[in-house]
Each structure stands twice: as C-alpha cells, then as structure tokens.
C-alpha cells in the first residue's frame, strides 16, 4: 500500500510544496488539501505546513483554526486515529485548535530566527518519530518569529511526566521556549507539533542535512506502509 499523506494549503501557507516533496521522497503519495474544503479525501495522515496562514492576523494560527478543513481534521486527530504533524505555523494552528497544549508567542529576542538548528529527539514513541532513537541529535531548519513555547507550569510537568516533549533545542533555546521545547505531542502520540522544519532537511542539495527524513518515514512505519531503506 502506498500511504497517502495530506498537506493542507491555507491562504499564506509557504512550505506546503516542500512538505509534499518530503512525502514524495520517502515514497508516499502527497495529497493536496484545501483549507476551504471540509474534506480530508480519505488520507492516512495530514501535515499542516509552515508559513503565515491568513497573514498571521489576530494571532498565528488563530484564524486557520476555524477553516472548514479543520472541522474534519480536529475530531479525527483528537480520537487518536489520524496522525497529524504541524510544522512551524502548523504547530501554532494545532495549539490554537487545542489539539496540543500551550501556545507559541513572540521570540524573546523579538528577532525572526533563521538558522540551522540542532535538536534532540526526546520521544520516539509518537507516530512521527518512531524511526529515531530517543536522545538522537538531528539538524533541521528553524525559521520563525513566534516560536517561543509557553505553557502553564502544571502542563509542562504533565508533558515531561508523560514523555510528550518530542524535541528540544540543543545549546539553549533560540527563541525563549520554556524548557527548550521545540516540539510536543498529544496524549495519543498521533498529533505532533514541531517549530523547526524537518521538511527542509530531506535532501543534501537543498538542506543542512537529511535528518528530517525520519519524521516522514516514521509515519509510514506507523501506518504499516513500506519504508524506504536509506541509500548511500
């Protein structure tokens, strides 16, 4: 079976083509999903890509949360059935939708951060990280102005206790995120939000590494689809 992975395009999404390309690179079929259609077209998993949905007006992700496609996505994600990966703006949308706890606020420095970023994958028990070893360090691209992860102290404790901190920044937080958190998951592990961009790290020619491939092969393994063996 070839897995079908939906990539949602909102007005202002930027990284939908790169997300689709990453899906293609691991041998799955990307399916374009449009924000205005309340239809997931039977996809096996969904990626909410980076960008500036609805111009980031009001708050990042706040308007995208109410898009028709989300009325289909939210219950399927909440039930634990549908794997969903929110990258950057997608992470913000997942927080605004209350599919993930906490919120992403203005970088502490006020500067837009654009760099190659080392991360530590803390949890390999999510739908999107099963192909990594816990504690494995990877390099991906961080490019965001509002990536400062905040949550109530009791929420942070719960995330730590339940192993739901998926990734942390190595070498200190570049944006002020509490506990250097770069990504978290929901209680089922099917919904993951990540501030850095694994889809920009899937090809030596265009990215700093190919470390991001694991997110996409992980979901294929989770779905029971064929996973390509690393070449070279």
Partner 1 sequence: MARVVVDVMLKPEILDPQGQAILGACGRLGFTGVSDVRQGKRFEVEVDGEVDDARLAELRKLAETVLSNPVIEDFELRVE
* Contact positions with partner 1 (CB under 8 A) in 69-88: none
Nearest to 193 by CA among 118, 89, 65: 89
Q: Nearest approach, Cβ of 23 to partner 1 (angstroms)?
A: 30
Catalytic entry in 88, 122, 200, 222? 88
Nearest to 220 by CA among 88, 9, 22: 22
Three-state DSSP at 55 gives helix
84-113: b (≥16 Cβ within 10 Å) or e: bbbbbbbbbbbbbbebbbbbbbebeeeeeb
Among 16, 96, 122, 199, the residue binding partner 1 under the rule CB under 8 A is: 96
Q: Nearest approach, Cβ of 101 to partner 1 (angstroms)?
A: 8
* Contact positions with partner 1 (CB under 8 A) in 11-50: none
Q: Which helix (H) or strand (E) holds 17?
A: helix 16-25
The owner of tokens 């102290």 is 153
Q: How many residues bind partner 1 (CB under 8 A)?
A: 20
Task: Indicate if 72 belongs to the active site.
Answer: no
Among 42, 110, 231, 232, the residue binding partner 1 under the rule CB under 8 A is: 110
Among 150, 158, 208, 221, the residue binding partner 1 under the rule CB under 8 A is: 150
Integer CA distances (angstroms), 97 to 3, 101, 191, in order: 26, 9, 12
The owner of tokens 């890509």 is 49
Beta bridge partners of 71: none
Q: Nearest approach, Cβ of 51 to partner 1 (angstroms)?
A: 19
Q: Nearest approach, Cβ of 73 to partner 1 (angstroms)?
A: 17
Q: Which stretch binds partner 1 (CB under 8 A): 21-29, 75-83, 104-112, 189-197?
A: 104-112
Task: Indicate if 122 belongs to the active site.
Answer: no
Task: Indicate if 199 belongs to the active site.
Answer: yes
Is the CB of 148 or the CB of 209 nearer to partner 1? Answer: 148
Q: Are 44 and 54 in contact (CB under 8 A)?
A: no
Q: Is 57 in the site for partner 1 (CB under 8 A)?
A: no
101 phi-psi bin (left φ>0, alpha ψ -120 to 50, beta other): beta
Residue span 154-183 as binding mask against partner 1, x where in contact by CB under 8 A, dash where not: ----------------------x-------
Three-state DSSP at 181 gives strand
Active site residues: 88, 197, 199
Interface residues with partner 1 (CB under 8 A)? 58-59, 62, 66, 95-96, 101-103, 105-110, 148, 150-152, 176
């Amino acid at each position: 079976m070839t897995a079908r992975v939906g990539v949602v395009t909102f007005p202002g999404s930027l990284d939908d083509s790169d997300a689709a390309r990453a899906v293609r690179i691991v041998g799955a079929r990307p399916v374009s999903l449009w924000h205005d259609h309340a239809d997931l077209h039977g996809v096996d998993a969904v990626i909410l890509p980076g960008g500036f949905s609805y111009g980031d007006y009001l708050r990042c992700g706040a308007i995208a949360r109410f898009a028709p496609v989300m009325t289909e996505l939210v219950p399927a994600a909440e039930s634990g059935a549908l794997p969903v990966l929110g990258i950057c703006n997608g992470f913000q949308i997942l927080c605004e939708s209350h599919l993930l706890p906490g919120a992403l606020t203005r970088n502490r420095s006020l500067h837009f951060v654009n760099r190659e970023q080392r991360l530590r994958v803390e949890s390999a028990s999510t739908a999107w990280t099963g192909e990594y070893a816990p504690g494995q360090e990877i390099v991906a691209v961080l490019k965001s102005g509002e990536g400062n992860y905040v949550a109530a102290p009791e929420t942070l404790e719960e995330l730590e206790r339940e192993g739901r901190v998926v990734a942390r920044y190595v070498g200190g937080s570049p944006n002020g995120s509490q506990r250097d958190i770069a990504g978290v998951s929901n209680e089922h592990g099917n919904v993951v939000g990540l501030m850095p961009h694994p889809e920009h790290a899937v090809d030596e020619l265009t990215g700093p590494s190919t470390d991001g491939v694991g997110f996409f092969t992980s979901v294929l393994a989770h779905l029971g689809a064929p996973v390509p063996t690393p070449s070279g």
